[in-house]
Amino acid sequence: MLSLAVLGFIIVESAPPEPWQSQTAPVAQAPASSSKASEALDSLEVKGRAPKTGYSRDQFGSGWASVKGCDTRNIILYRDLINTVLDEECNVLSGTLQDVYTGKTIEFSKSDGAAIQIDHVVALSDSWQKGAQFLSREMRVQLANDPLELIAVDGPANQQKGDGDAATWLPSNKGFRCQYIARQIAVKRKYTLWVTEAEKKAMQDVLSACPEQGMPVAS
């Protein structure tokens, strides 16, 4: 079995072209900067939701991107799971996820890949209606494969979320909600996406319980 640590790669929370150099801590343990999420939220534009006209997953690329022969899905699985086992083709075969959305411990096996899914923290269809349709295709592909935007999570929880924003869905694990909102804000700020009034109010409500919550630190 191949260990990515042997390859000397790390996953960075910044744009391609070089998203791998060595393994980072799982998302649940990601450090936060001194920049407050509440202040970053206030910097986002507030507008109504644009029509979904023209949206398709293909607007953000045809599936996962590949870096050095490893696709984004396996990059994120390797980052967020522990005790991972990989094959020679850079596929995560097994591992354990401490799921941040539900608080459950989930054993992963490639034969049951749906048990753990890779969530776009800002759902792609939601991002399309809040500015992404005005980005270049290259930037949309970058958004869809940006480690800042991606978390390995419980499959059923991800299905329940669907294309919801903070006004319609939050993780059942209340201990992760502040980090979840901070990550959504970071993605929206990075890609100049806006928020609706209801979405901003929901974000403010969450952050009121953690006024010192920092923004995710890019590796």
Q: Domain residues of the chain, as ranges?
A: 4-216
pLDDT tens-digit map of 172-188: 999 999 999 999 999 99
pLDDT tens-digit map of 4-48: 433 333 333 333 333 333 334 455 555 566 699 999 999 999 999
Q: Where are the alpha helices (DSSP H) in the chain?
A: 4-7, 37-42, 72-80, 124-128, 137-145, 155-161, 177-190, 197-207
Q: How far is CA 18 from CA 14, 68, 107, 136, 139, in A?
A: 9, 9, 29, 20, 15
Distance, CA of 207 to CA of 41 (rounded, Å): 10
pLDDT of residue 30: 55
Residue 131: is its pLDDT beyond 60? yes
Percent of the chain exceeding pLDDT 90 equals: 80
pLDDT of residue 27: 57
Q: What is the mean pLDDT of residues 190-203?
A: 98
pLDDT of residue 36: 96
pTM reported for the whole predicted model: 0.85
Query: Which residue bears the tokens 């209801």?
Result: 198
